[in-house]
Amino acid sequence: MEKNSPWVGGGSPVGGGGPVGGGSPVRGGGPVGGTGRLAGKVALITGAASGMGAAHARAMAREGAKVAIADIATEAGEQLAAELGSASYHDHDVTDPAAWQGLVVAVEGMHGPIDVLVNNAGIQVRSVGIEADDDEWAKVTGVNQRGVFLGMRAVIPGMAERGGGSVVNVASTAALVGMPGSIPYQASKAAVLGLTRGAAVSYGRNNVRVNAICPGLVVTGMTASASREAVEAMKAQIPLRRDGRPEEVSAAVVFLASDESSYITGVALPIDGGFIAL
């Protein structure tokens, strides 16, 4: 069966630009309902102002983490930080190396050393295929691929020096199977898996775990513009016959960020209702 999806994948929409600095003040309190699986941990999540990134932020805060929300959607990010309580918002361009250095300083100045990095920021331009122009290629790979590398480069050394940490990179089922169209997006997400495996092997000796998740059909802001026909066609190819919910993806992020997954590194975890099993 041909896998047909013009937009399968994860990540919240993120574009360019945005100052990096002090961010919003840390607030007291926080959401209730978790079991403290991330208590005492500091989690930095990119592309976290909306979509799956916001779901990850809520889930991690619920489990006791201090969450730093990095995005370019200032209003939404600040609202989410206020909602979560012990959280902060930081304007951040994931494609800017200097911005990453400033972000780490700001987050650690507010919350303490970073224990968890979730490279969630992602974009997709729906080109047909190799007709994608240079601008699309640069934009998509800049955020989805280079942004992940820059994030790990900025955060992993501190984790290694302190004796460990967890990195969760958001890839896509498009990194695992070929699909028609959106070739720059597929290439960028496949590269995320290479970055994940390479970093896992390189920094395992420092107790830094690096894993990737590969979401399938999850309707968020980045994918909601797809036609109803495209969504229904995709559902028909999924063994569970439905789309996923952001919260279901967040459950995997929390697990990989927590000490429950202490012997897991270098994996690419599909969260796709069985899509790639076909």
- Model pTM? 0.88
CA 122-218-3 angle, to 5 degrees, is 95
Please provide the CATH number assigned to the domain covering 42-277: 3.40.50.720
Q: Distance between CA 161 and CA 61 in Å, rounded?
A: 25
- The pLDDT value recorded for residue 221 is 63
Q: Assess contact for 6 and 91: CB atoms under 8 A.
A: no
So which residues are the catalytic ones? 185
Q: What is the pLDDT of residues 30-89, one digit of tens each?
A: 444 689 999 999 999 999 999 999 999 999 999 999 999 999 999 999 999 999 998 999
Residue 225 class from Cβ within 10 Å (0-12 exposed, 13-18 middle, 19+ buried)?
exposed
| Regions in the chain scoring below 70 on pLDDT | 1-33, 220-226
- The pLDDT value recorded for residue 25 is 40
Q: Where are the domains of the chain?
A: 42-277
- The pLDDT value recorded for residue 228 is 80
- The pLDDT value recorded for residue 32 is 46
- The pLDDT value recorded for residue 21 is 35
- The pLDDT value recorded for residue 222 is 54
